[in-house]
Every structure is written in structure tokens, then in C-alpha cells.
Structure 1
Amino acid sequence: MHKITVVIADDHPIVLFGVRELIKSDPRFEVVGEAGSSTELINVLHDKQPQILITDYNMPESSQYGDGLRLITYLTRNFPALRVLVLTMVSNSLILTRLYNLGVAGVIDKRTVNEELLRALEALSQNRIYKLAPANRNSVIDNGYQIDERMASLSTREVEILRLFVAGMSLRDIAINQNRSPKTISTQKIAAMRKLDVRSDQELISYCLEANLFQ
């Protein structure tokens, strides 16, 4: 029987082990490679050319290809035949929608991977999209945020940093782009987040997407 080849990418060895063991329980699939960073992942994909990739949404920030939306964009553009299954703790509906719009074949909540992984692989093996049940939307704008007012409080450099960050660039890459130190970029990003009253990268991306900023 011809097995469906799979590569796994996650920077936590225990997650790699758990996913690998789950896949082993289904004889139709075979793990042919593993990666702990996005740079390593790209090398493995070129070498093994698998049919399915199971990858964490959050990978080490220092990796050459970044993580999150930036990494997924790179994967779907450069490996169009690859069926990408994303593991994530992100529950924001806008980010999940963006992942599917980028062309991923499925998304799994890492907290339910034991229950969902084989179901997702079954869907992918039949060329179907695997979708999470829709979550309740938690908007960062509906809670009284004044978009124009808050955006007006940002400096020109802070706006540019946010634009590049939301586009998928890492802080290191933004620093190179702006010819400044990563520490300076990080400080200005934090200051911008404080002005927008968002507390995490997920909220920041959600805010910008919902407000149609940088579109």
C-alpha cells in the first residue's frame, strides 16, 4: 500500500513525539521528516517533498522564514501541492479565516490534537478541507475602541513598524528593513500596542484586520 507522506514541524520535542505517535497508529500515513524551526522545515520540505505538512503556527522568532502568517504565506506560495495542516492555540476567527484564505488544508486546536488529528488527516487524504467548529468572535474593536483616535496617537515610525509586522515580517527583519536595532524596533512596537490598548500579538493582528488597517 502506498503511504501518504507527512512532515511534522514544532519547536517542542514533546509535541513532535505526540503527533508522531498518533500518526503511527494509522498505517496509511508515514512520517518522513521532522523540523524544530522554520528554516529547518523548509530544508526538510525540499529534501523529502511530502504530501502533508503538520506545522505549529508559532515557531522560533529567530528562524529565517519567521512564523505565523508569514511562514504560512511562504509555504502556500512556494509549495502549492503541499497540504498544510496548522496546529495552533489561536482562536480568533479573523486569523483562522486568513489561514484558510492563504490556502491551508486544515487547522487544529493544539488543546484537542489527540481527538482531532486523525480526523483531519482523513479529510486531507480525501482532498477535503478540515475546519474547526466556528468559535465565538471576540472582537477587539467592538469593546469601545476608537480607531481613528488611537491611530492618530501613533508616531510615523510606529505605524510603519505595525504595517510591516502585520504583513508578516519578524522584528529582526523589520530592524534590518528600517536600519535600526531589534531592541529599538521592539520598544516602539510595544509603545504602539500600548497606545492601541492591545495586550498581545494576536490582539494586535486582530485589531488591524478588523479595522481594515494597512489594506
Structure 2
Amino acid sequence: METFNVVIADDHPIVLLGVRELVERDRRFSVVGEVVCSDGLIKLLRSQPVDLLITDFNMPGDSPYGDGLKLVEYVTRHFPAVRVLVLTMISNPLILTRLQELGVLAVIQKSQLHVEIEVALKAIAKGKRISGHRTTPTSVLDDGADLDERFSRLSPKEHEILRLFVQGQGVNEIARGLNRSAKTISTQKISAMRKLDVSSDQELLTYCIERNLFN
């Protein structure tokens, strides 16, 4: 019987415990490591053979490997043999599409954790494709030079807020992480959107993802 070495990455102990319990119900999967930050994850992936990574989309700490899309891209680029499942509360189709493009096997909604992990593990064990919804974002790109000029107008604070937003954080979460008020973060985000000439969160995400601005 083929067995799979599994690593779980999440900064919440309860999630780590719950995912481990779900994984180890199937004898074909063995949890060989648990990590709570991006640095720990990359160090572990470099130190031993890993077949499957189950990782939270948002990871804490100021790591050169980042989190969100940046971390997933680093993992899929430098550890192509590792299959990746992403845990998240995010439902934005632009981020989900980008994760699919990066080669993630499946995006598992934390609200459906028990059901979706079981389905995903069974598919992996049988070598089958994991079924899921696929979405196609709408592009807002026109003239590349003009877009670059718009991006250069952003202040350092606006740049940082957009980076965190693209990683999947909401205004309140960004405010807590940067120790600012939600009103201040919202104002700076709106200012950045005006400078980029986008009118919605969807257009903003498309702009940043398609231009690969924060990877």
C-alpha cells in the first residue's frame, strides 16, 4: 500500500489538531511534521521527503517567503514534487483562480474542512483529480506602461496595504496587524484604488494578480 508523508502548516493549534486527526484516519497518510510559520515550513520541506502539504493560506510573521499567493508560488516552484492543499476562508474567484494556476490540487474552505479534506485525501490516494469549482477572472489590463505609472503613485503605506489585501486579508485584519484603525486602512485602500483607477475589490485583485505585483 502506497503511503504519503504529510506536513500541516497552520498557526492555530486547534486547526492543526483537527487536520491531523482527519488525515490520520486514513492509514495511507502519515503526518511527518507540523509548522506554524512560513520559515518553519520551508525549513521542513528542505529537510525531509514530503508528498503532501496542507497549508493555511494566511501565515503569521514577517518571513521572506511571505504567505498567501507568494508562499504558495515559492513552494510550487521550489518543491514541484510536493502536492499542495490550501486551507482558507477566502472565496474570491480571482485568488482561487490564481491558486489553481500555481498548481494547487484543491482549495479547502475551513467551513467545510471535515468533508472536503476527506474527499481530497481519497482522490489523492487513488491518483484521481480532485473535483472543484473553477473560475475565470475578468481582466482590467489595458496599456502596461500606463498601469506601471499608476502603480508608482502609491505611497509606501498604500503599497503595504495592497500587498496584504492581495494575500487575502480584510480591512479589519490588516488594521490589527499594522496596529492602525480600520477607518485609516479603509481610507488608504480607497486612495490606492483611485490612483490605480479601479472601482471594485475584484478589479483591484485582478490588477495586482495579473501584473504579478507582489510575488
- 1:114-156: CA deviations, max 9, x gaps? 1110110122233444243468x999x9xxxxxxxxxx99871
CA drift at 1:20: 0.4
Contact 2:51 2:81 in 1 (8 A): yes
* 1:45 corresponds to 2:41: no
Contact 1:163 1:214 in 2 (8 A): no
Match of 1:105 in 2: 105
The 5-angstrom pairing of residues 10-29 of structure 1 reads 10-29=10-29
Q: Please give the alpha-carbon distance, in whole angstroms, between the structure 1 residues aligned to 2:129 and 2:155.
A: 38
Residue 189 (structure 2) aligned to one of 184, 190, 193: 193
DSSP 3-state at the match of 1:11: coil
Residue 156 (structure 1) aligned to one of 146, 153, 156: 153
CA drift at 1:6: 0.6
Given residue 159 of structure 2, which amino acid in structure 1 is its aligned partner? I
TM-score, with normalisation over the residues of structure 2?
A: 0.70
Contact 1:6 1:33 in 2 (8 A): yes
DSSP 3-state at the match of 2:155: helix
Question: Which range moves more in the overlay, 84-93 or 120-129?
Answer: 120-129
Question: Against the structure 1 CA distance between its residues 4 and 153, is the aligned structure 2 distance closer, same or farther, given a 3 Å change threshold?
Answer: closer
Given residue 155 of structure 2, which amino acid in structure 1 is its aligned partner? E
Q: Please give the alpha-carbon distance, in whole angstroms, between the structure 1 residues aligned to 2:50 and 2:209.
A: 36
Q: Please give the alpha-carbon distance, in whole angstroms, between the structure 2 residues aligned to 1:161 and 1:125.
A: 42
Q: Please give the alpha-carbon distance, in whole angstroms, between the structure 2 residues aligned to 1:23 and 1:74.
A: 24
Q: Which blocks of at least 5 consecutive residues in structure 2 are unaligned? A: 141-148, 168-177, 195-199
CA drift at 1:189: 7.0
- 1:84-107: CA deviations, max 9, x gaps? 000010001111010000111111
Match of 1:208 in 2: 204
Q: Please give the alpha-carbon distance, in whole angstroms, between the structure 2 residues aligned to 1:190 and 1:71.
A: 25
Given residue 37 of structure 2, which amino acid in structure 1 is its aligned partner? S
Question: Against the structure 1 CA distance between its residues 157 and 94, is the aligned structure 2 distance closer, same or farther, given a 3 Å change threshold?
Answer: closer
Question: Against the structure 1 CA distance between its residues 125 and 158, is the aligned structure 2 distance closer, same or farther, given a 3 Å change threshold?
Answer: farther
Match of 1:81 in 2: 81
Match of 2:170 in 1: none
Contact 2:97 2:134 in 1 (8 A): no
Aligned residue pairs: how many? 183
Match of 1:174 in 2: none
TM-score, with normalisation over the residues of structure 1?
A: 0.70
Question: Against the structure 1 CA distance between its residues 26 and 154, is the aligned structure 2 distance closer, same or farther, given a 3 Å change threshold?
Answer: closer
Contact 2:7 2:52 in 1 (8 A): yes
Q: Please give the alpha-carbon distance, in whole angstroms, between the structure 2 residues aligned to 1:108 and 1:100.
A: 12
- 1:149-182: CA deviations, max 9, x gaps? xxx998713388269828979xxxxxxxxxxxx8
CA drift at 1:108: 0.5
Identity %: 43
CA drift at 1:47: 1.5
Q: Which blocks of at least 5 consecutive residues in structure 1 are unaligned? A: 142-151, 170-181, 198-202
Q: Please give the alpha-carbon distance, in whole angstroms, between the structure 1 residues aligned to 2:89 and 2:12.
A: 14
